[in-house]
Amino acid sequence: MPKHKKLAAAESEVMDCVWQMPGKVTVREVHNRLYPNSEKAYTTLQTVMNILVDKNFLRKKKIGMVNFYTANIRREDAMKTETRSLVSRIFHGSFGALATHLIKSGELSAAELDDIKKLIEAQEKTT
């Protein structure tokens, strides 16, 4: 699969929406879902979605007069790419430093910390 570029904030918002919607979507459908009160112009969204096609995050197929878009990358793959980029830039490539930061940050709830403990225990059993 071709390498994907990074997502800007507006692009990430659109991709989140597309990943939540099954099958092919139109600009109108995404616009109605993301901006039900027309907070952003339809043409702005159309531009963002076409940028996502150029960046290889979306595929576009014209059927009749309408362009239909589908995700060209799974959410999980995009998360891996973004996480690797963050870890490389901020934590000098150390995933352990990221984990330490998250745990010490005070931002995780007790339930989230418990889930992390369970994941670590499960991982230790498989290695």
In the prediction, which pLDDT does 2 show?
52
Q: How far is CA 97 from CA 28, 40, 86, 91, in A?
A: 42, 38, 11, 6
> In what helix (H) or strand (E) does residue 97 lie, and over which residues does it extend?
helix 95-104
- Local mean pLDDT, 10-residue blocks, the chain (127 residues): 74 97 95 94 96 96 96 94 93 95 94 94 90
